Amino acid sequence: MSKIYDISQTIRSGIPVWPGDTEFSLKRTWQIEPDCPVNVSEMTMSTHTGTHADARLHFDNQGIDSAATPLEAYIGTAYVLDISAEVTDLVKPEHLGALPERIERVLFKLFPSFPHDGWDPNFPAISPEAIVFLQQRGCILIGTDVPSLDHQDSKELNAHFAVDKAEMAILEGLVLDGIPEGFYELIALPLKIEGADGSPLRAILRTLS
């Protein structure tokens, strides 16, 4: 029987967000009482809260939005690779030797332990050369547990544009603690939000046997 791993952050009050971005809040607008049979809430949040998918619009004004993003890359076989003990600054091709010769989706564990209760501004990034390496192996999606493929202070966003050129999809903010390396089925669909530059999502891995 297959096992399901939830690799999503819990969206909650106090969830760490990119410095200066919108904090998450949830407010009850309707409440069960004699004249109301249901609870209904209002949310305020960034499109990049927690575990999320970047749409091309995030880094390119001419890019497509979350609603128009094709879904094929977000469902299918994925390989989890833990290089948190090797990489402190930048993922390079020499860190990827353990990957299979052909790989459609790869999820990088770069945090030794995911920082649920705080923001780590010194998270590792992905080099454009590593993205080219993945493209040559057939990769169509790159995911990571850090908040961005590029360093926090990057203005050029070289990794994002390398992914765009390679026509890959992007997942960021995954939680990969306790996930053994290897192949899984990934299901991580962005929401169909018109005009959105990204989308929070519920990401899961399912064992293949």
Residue positions annotated with a catalytic role: 58
Q: How far apart are CA 149 and CA 193, in angstroms?
A: 22
Q: How far apart are CA 108 and CA 111, in angstroms?
A: 9
3-class DSSP string for 68-130: CCCCHHHEEEEEEEECCCCCCCEECHHHCCCCCCCCCEEEEECCCCCCCCCCCCCCCEECHHH
The DSSP annotation for 12-65 comes to -TT---STTSPPPEEEEEE--BTTB---EEEEE--TTSSSEEE-GGGT-TTS--
User: Reduced to 3 states, what is the DSSP secondary structure of residue 134?
Assistant: helix
Q: How far apart are CA 108 and CA 133, in angstroms?
A: 14
